[in-house]
Amino acid sequence: MIELKNKSLISITDYSKEEILHVLDIAEDFEKNHRQRLLDNHVIASLFFEPSTRTRLSFESAVQYLGGSIIGFANADTSSVRKGESLKDTILTVSNYSDLIIMRNPLDGSARFASEVSPVPIINAGDGANQHPTQCLLDLYSIRKTQGSLENIHIALVGDLKYGRTVHSLVQALSLFNATFHLVSPESLKLPSAVKRWIKDAGLEYHQYTELTDVIPFSDIIYMTRIQGERFPDPVEYEKVKNSYILENKMLSASKENLRILHPLPRVNEISEDVDNNPKAYYFQQAKNGVYVRQALIAAILGLKD
């Protein structure tokens, strides 16, 4: 029996393989019918200490489809934080008014700290450069949905593998499912050795490439990420690589039938718009899956669905 009641989600590694699969199973039920009023008379706090419209709307949509009410703020400027209130005090106050807190905060580790002081469970909606576990869950949901299973997939991770936190979480999570990792990035944005270590520790394989075209023929999933110019200490270096990781429709002609393209969004130019109409493009559906996964997580943590 898997029990997620009152279990905060701060890092994807807080949940076991079975717990992750349990959330994905519940999400499948919400995909069939997302209007389930399980949160009648429940109040959910949505505390965004920094703006992230996309993530906030996805969470708020999940709460609304569940029939719950939302309190909170969309950025720290309009809140008591601006008057210098400590994070601890804000959390303790808001926990008096709500059953669960969804928090986005620019400080690394703030979500872990909040979960230690809060009497109600916390869902981390992004703590600085550290973790964003619901993004990881929706990525996993999308992979399972399109491939039929999370086991044994060949995934190509493309772009900024050094700073991209979604990539790091995804590597950690997929290491539970016997994945093979194909890492495509410029030399200066390679996957950190600590993250490669997780792959090795799980007894799995990774391969590194500098050319996107190399991985297209055999990948089940291509996970594209944005390369940000400000990550490069040398602007000349950025100019050299910025256009070498753009996926175009014509490149997909030699790909596998089951290949799907994922992207955490927003994209800039790393997936050319002519890919959008290819049935292998899955990134907008992926974002939609985020609502079902967040519904599942909220319902499970409040003990309203198992």
Partner 1 sequence: MNNKRTELQVSAIKNGTVIDHIASENTFRVFQILNLEHIKEQVYLGTNLESKKLGKKGIIKISGKFFDPEEINKIALVAPHATLIEIKDYEVTKKEKINLPESIDKIVKCMNPKCVTNNQDVPTKFKLITDHHGKTKLSCHYCEKTMAQEDIWFL
State the burial class of residue 227 (Cβ atoms within 10 Å of its Cβ: 0-12, 13-18, 19+).
buried
CB under 8 A: which stretch of 66-74, 100-108, 239-247, 271-279 binds partner 1? 100-108
106 forms part of the interface with partner 1 (CB under 8 A)? yes
Positive/negative CA dihedral, 229, 232, 234, 239: negative
Query: Which residues inside 175-214 make contact with partner 1, applying CB under 8 A?
Result: 193-194, 197, 200
Q: What character string, x for contact with partner 1 (CB under 8 A) and - otherwise, covers 4-23?
A: -------x------------
- Identify the H or E element spanning 116: helix 110-117
Task: Determine the interface stretch with partner 1 among 15-23, 56-64, 86-94, 289-297 (rule: CB under 8 A).
Answer: 86-94
Contact window for partner 1 (CB under 8 A) among 18-26, 52-60, 81-89, 242-250: 81-89
Q: Nearest to residue 100, comparing CAs of 38, 51, 53?
A: 38
Q: Which of 107, 241, 251, 287 binds partner 1 (CB under 8 A)?
A: 107
DSSP result, 29-56 = HHHH-------TT-EEEEEESS--HHHH
Contact call for residue 95 and partner 1 (CB under 8 A)? no
Considering the complex, what minimum distance in angstroms separates the CB of residue 14 from partner 1? 12
The span from the first CA to the last CA of the chain, in angstroms, equals: 9
Nearest residue (CB) to partner 1, 105 versus 219? 105
- 186 is written with which tokens? 């410029």
Query: Residue 48 CB, nearest distance to partner 1 (Å)?
Result: 16
205: closest CA among 142, 153, 136?
153
Separation of alpha carbons 81 and 62, rounded Å: 26
Catalytic residues: 54-55, 83, 104, 132
Q: Which is nearer to partner 1, 130 or 289 (CB)?
A: 130
Q: How far is the CB of 124 from partner 1 (least distance, A)?
A: 12
Binding to partner 1 (CB under 8 A) within 125-144 occurs at 127-131
Instruction: Considering only the stretches 110-118, 150-158, 225-233, 253-261, report the one whose residues sit in contact with partner 1 under the rule CB under 8 A.
Output: 110-118
Measured CA to CA, the distance from residue 102 to residue 91 in angstroms comes to: 11
- Bridge-partner residues for 70, per DSSP? 44
Asked if residue 98 binds partner 1 (CB under 8 A), the reply is no
Is there binding between residue 149 and partner 1 (CB under 8 A)? no
Classify the C-alpha dihedral 282-16-63-115 as positive or negative: negative
| Interaction site with partner 1 (CB under 8 A) | 11, 86-88, 106-110, 112-113, 127-131, 193-194, 197, 200
